[in-house]
Structure 1
């Protein structure tokens, strides 16, 4: 009973924070789904962006809990600097993964092309003209006219020039 009397403010603030967490997750999920529906985005890409947003919200809530329960500010900075250093070294080794995830999120919200579009990637060494079969968190899956399947990293799509071509089936004449 002494615990509840001593930490009443912290317990109330924690309860309010958890209610806020639930509300933020519901609201963010609805907003992303509404945006995805208006831009005709596919379901697994929408779920991926929702996961990233929920992860960010959870990190903010954990930080708020640490502050609510009175961890000293200097201890928080020491822990965060240590974690940032370790994550920074690990991410430096894996920068392409982080770059592809970030590019996947940018492609989701900017939505320059969609599945079924035929695109031309302007790369002077390896130009590619192919149809988009799927857009994932890390890669875009392409299929050429020859049936060749290409897995192309998202970060390169943002670095290279892209042309969206007319659908090849529209301008072909079919004869018996």
Structure 2
């Protein structure tokens, strides 16, 4: 009982933040799904973006709870600077992963092409003309006219010029 008397404000604040968390997650999920449905985005990509948004919301919720429960600001800054340093060193080594994830989110929302489109990537050293088989969080999977599977990183896809071609790959006859 003493705990309830001493921490009434913190418990009420925690309850409000948790209700806000649940509401924000439901609303953001519905908005992303509505956007995906209107732009005919595949379910896999939609779930990936929802996962990223939920991660951001959870981080903000933990920050709010830390503030509500009165953790000293200098303790928060010490912990954050330590974590940031470790993550920063790791991200310098893994910058391409973060770049590909960010590019995947940009491709999701800008949606310049879709699975089944034939694209031409304008690269002077390695030009590619292929059909998009799948768009993942890190890579786009392409199949050339010769049947070769090319896995192209999302961040390079945003850096290169791309033409969306009419599907001029010859339709293969179905032989039974």
SS in 2 for 1:162: strand
Give the 5 Å matches for 1:4-19.
4-19=4-19
Given the two structures, how large is their TM-score scaled by the length of structure 1?
A: 0.95
- Measure, in 2, the Cα distance between the counterparts of 1:47 and 1:130: 26
Q: Deviations over 1:50-90 (max 9, x none)?
A: 00000000000000010000001111111111111110100
Give, in angstroms, the shift of residue 169 of structure 1. 4.9
User: TM-score, normalized by length of structure 2?
Assistant: 0.95
The root-mean-square deviation of aligned C-alpha atoms, in Å, is: 1.2
Measure, in 1, the Cα distance between the counterparts of 2:40 and 2:169.
22
The residue correspondences of 1:136-175 to structure 2 (distance < 5 A) are 136-169=136-169
Q: After superposition, what is the alpha-carbon deviation per residue over 1:17-66, rounded to whole angstroms, capped at 9, x for unaligned?
A: 10000000000000000000000000000000000000000000000010
Aligned to 1:112: 112
Query: Which runs of no fewer than 5 residues in structure 1 stay unpaired?
Result: none
User: Which deviates more from structure 2 when the two are superposed, residues 39-48 or residues 70-79?
Assistant: 70-79
Q: Which runs of 5+ in 2 are unaligned?
A: none
Partner of 2:63: 63
Report runs of 4+ in structure 1 exceeding 3 Å deviation: none
Within 5 A, what are the aligned runs for 1:23-38?
A: 23-38=23-38
